[in-house]
Amino acid sequence: MELNNTSALVTGGASGLGEATVRALAERGARVVVVDLNAERGHAVAESVHGVFASCDVTDTDQVIAAINAATALAPLWSVVNCAGIAWAQRTVGKDGEYTSAHDLDVYRKIIEVNLIGTFNVCRLGATAMSHNAPDDDGCRGAIVNTASVAARDGQIGQVAYSSSKGGIVGLTLPLARDLSAVGVRANCILPGLLDTPIYGLAPESEDFKARLAAGVLFPKRLGRPSEFASLALELLTNSYMNAECVRLDAGVRLPPK
């Protein structure tokens, strides 16, 4: 699938995996819409790649449509990469055994809403826009890459909400690809492992924490780089025979219980 002279939409595009993907897409000739809630950083990233920033809550249908319209105003939308997401850690039962200390149900709903429902919201609306594209030689009209996590498979203690949301994205992949085959849109999913993003913090002590994490990685014994995620995302977008797949990007790590 050709990226040059097309537009792309990247959620969570202002930092980390999303930012790296924005830059990789721009290098391949795509006009990129950076979708994020961080306006200051989002504008800066968009300007650096001659793209457009769209302030957007991925659970808000009107805001997502506005972001998609910003992309189609640049060029036909052929690529969507969903990197937006939030994390939370809390055990299901509190230490005191009281009902009030059980896992916060509103937080659980929020994690599902942003990570899973938000991802599907962007997929359904982005694919609708793609369905209007003139197909290429394979009959393709676009491609979607969603971001899950190895926590979808190896969820750790305290990750019930996060793992549920990411497991939902994994479960979404095959039926989504089957649905979208009717309009010539492919859908794949990446399950990142321990990638070096701002989620681990920027303070000096965060380096010691990341070093401890890297010790559990099989090989190479380091955290992954956002550019490695972006490289895989571009392969899933451009390789026209990649469809309905969930690919781990984790250097062989298998997360322990804690």
- The closest alpha carbon to 22, from 55, 59, 57, 47, belongs to 47
99 is catalytic: no
For residue 46, the SS3 value is helix
Any idea what the Cα angle at residue 213 is, between residues 211 and 151, rounded to 5°? Answer: 155
**Structure-token pair, residue 123:** 């997929």
3-state helix, strand, coil in the chain (%, to 5): 45, 15, 40
Do β-strands 185-192 and 77-82 pair in parallel, antiparallel, or remain unpaired? unpaired
Chain mean position to CA 10:
8
Which member of 99, 162, 200, 241 is catalytic? 162
**Structure-token pair, residue 58:** 């991925």
Starting at the edge strand found earlier in the chain, the sheet holding 142-147 runs 52-55, 31-36, 7-11, 77-82, 142-147, 185-192, 246-249
For residue 104, the SS3 value is coil
Any idea what the Cα angle at residue 252 is, between residues 256 and 84, rounded to 5°? Answer: 80
What is the spatial distance between Cα 169 and Cα 174, in angstroms, rounded to a whole number?
A: 10
Question: Which residues participate in catalysis according to the annotation?
Answer: 162
